[in-house]
Amino acid sequence: MSREPIHIALFGAAGRMGKVLLHEARTFPSLKITHAFDPAGAGQYFDELMIEPKCYGVHDHVKVAIDFSTAGSVVENVQCCRQAKVNYVCGVTGVPENVKKELREAAKDIAVLHAPNMSPGMNVLFALVAEAAAALPGYEVYLSEAHHTKKVDAPSGTAHGALRAAEWLADQPAGFYGMGDVLGL
d(CA 122, CA 158): 9
151 is catalytic: yes
**Which of 63, 147, 148, 150 is flagged as catalytic?**
147
d(CA 129, CA 127): 5
147 is catalytic: yes
Phi/psi at 138 (nearest 5 deg)?
90, -15
Comparing C-alpha atoms, which of 51, 57, 101 is closest to residue 77?
57
d(CA 75, CA 93): 13
Q: Which residues pair with 62 in a beta bridge?
A: 7
- Dmax of the chain from CA atoms? 57
**Which of 19, 114, 151, 160 is flagged as catalytic?**
151
Active site residues: 147, 151
